């Protein structure tokens, strides 16, 4: 029998209540919405915390699920009926904690000679950005990171980068090699012609200066493309 979605948590059968279900069966047996409902604790008149969690995870105008959670701002959350300042801040802190946990886990295997580990480490930082952001990673003679900075924030479909400014930053830190990293807000990491031309310009400038461009990695939605792996660094793109 289908139950009314507006039923209160107290009116639910005990085994259906998210808190009690977690206590009895373990957090791993809760749905995403039930986990969020436990953290929200209370709903609002006519709408319990579980229904409120479902509205946040599955908004009508966006893709649904946990991947949507980092997209919400505090201001946007407060527009949802039943979400006040405290709950909005709690949800934002939850999303930030999840991002930091993913980054901490990726750090353990981070190797700057491996595009896969680089992409994993920066994935949660960049995959949810609404605009293209270009990061510059600076490495020393032992391929250890000595600096990282956002060198350009562009529109949703283009990033403008000056190789001159890029290498001035590298020279200041005495870097011997660099890696470029940027996101595609569309979620598709396929390099554009602009991405390829930029890579070629930076490589040539680096050859003249004596600072090697090791890779240019493009971050998509849980996907990435390494231009070096794809053959763009040897003139034979794969």
Q: Report pLDDT digits (tens) over 29-66.
A: 989 889 998 888 877 776 788 888 888 888 765 556 77
> Quick one: CA dihedral 161, 163, 168, 170, positive or negative?
positive
**Is domain 109-226 classified as CATH 3.40.140.10?**
yes
| Burial classification of residue 187, based on how many CB atoms lie within 10 Å of its CB (0-12 exposed, 13-18 middle, 19 or more buried) | middle
Segment among 16-30, 41-55, 168-182 with least mean pLDDT: 41-55
Residue 141: name the closest of 111, 118, 175 by CA: 175
User: 14-103 adopts what CATH topology?
Assistant: DNA polymerase; domain 1 (1.10.150)
Mean pLDDT of the chain: 85
pLDDT at 11: 52
Q: What are the distances in angstroms from CA 136 to CA 92, 163, 222, 227?
A: 27, 11, 20, 15
Q: Please, where in the chain does CATH 1.10.150 lie?
A: 14-103
Whether the CB-CB separation of 217 and 226 falls below 8 Å is answered with yes
Residue 184: name the closest of 164, 209, 158 by CA: 158
Quickly tell me which residue has 């919405």 as its tokens: 33
pTM for the full predicted model = 0.71
Q: Please, where in the chain does CATH 3.40.140.10 lie?
A: 109-226
pLDDT at 195: 92
Number of residues assigned to the chain:
238
Report which DSSP code applies to 160: -
Q: DSSP per residue over 28-41, as a string?
A: GGS-HHHHHHHHH-
What average pLDDT does this structure show over 122-150? 91
Segment among 11-20, 77-86, 93-102 with least mean pLDDT: 11-20
Which is more confidently placed, 83 or 159? 83
């Amino acid at each position: 029998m289908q139950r009314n979605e507006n039923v209160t948590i107290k009116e639910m059968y005990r085994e259906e209540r998210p808190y009690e279900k977690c206590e009895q069966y373990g957090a791993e047996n809760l749905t995403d919405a039930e986990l969020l409902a436990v953290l929200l604790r209370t709903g609002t008149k006519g709408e319990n915390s579980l229904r409120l969690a479902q509205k946040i995870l599955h908004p009508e105008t966006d893709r649904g699920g946990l991947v949507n959670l980092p997209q919400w701002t505090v201001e946007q959350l407060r527009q949802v009926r039943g979400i006040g300042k405290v709950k909005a801040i709690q949800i934002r802190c939850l999303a930030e904690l999840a991002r930091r946990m993913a980054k901490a886990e990726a750090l353990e295997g981070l190797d700057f000679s491996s595009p896969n580990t680089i992409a994993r480490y920066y994935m949660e930082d960049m995959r949810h950005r609404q605009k293209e952001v270009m990061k510059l990673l600076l490495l020393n003679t032992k391929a250890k990171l000595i600096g990282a900075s956002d060198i350009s924030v562009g529109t949703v479909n283009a990033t403008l980068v000056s190789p001159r400014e890029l290498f001035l930053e590298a020279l200041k830190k005495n870097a011997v090699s660099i890696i470029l990293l940027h996101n595609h807000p569309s979620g598709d990491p396929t390099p554009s012609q602009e991405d390829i031309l930029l890579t070629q310009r930076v490589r040539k400038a680096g050859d003249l200066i004596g600072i090697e461009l090791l890779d240019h990695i493009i971050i998509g939605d849980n996907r990435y493309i390494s231009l070096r792996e794809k053959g763009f660094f040897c003139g034979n793109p794969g």
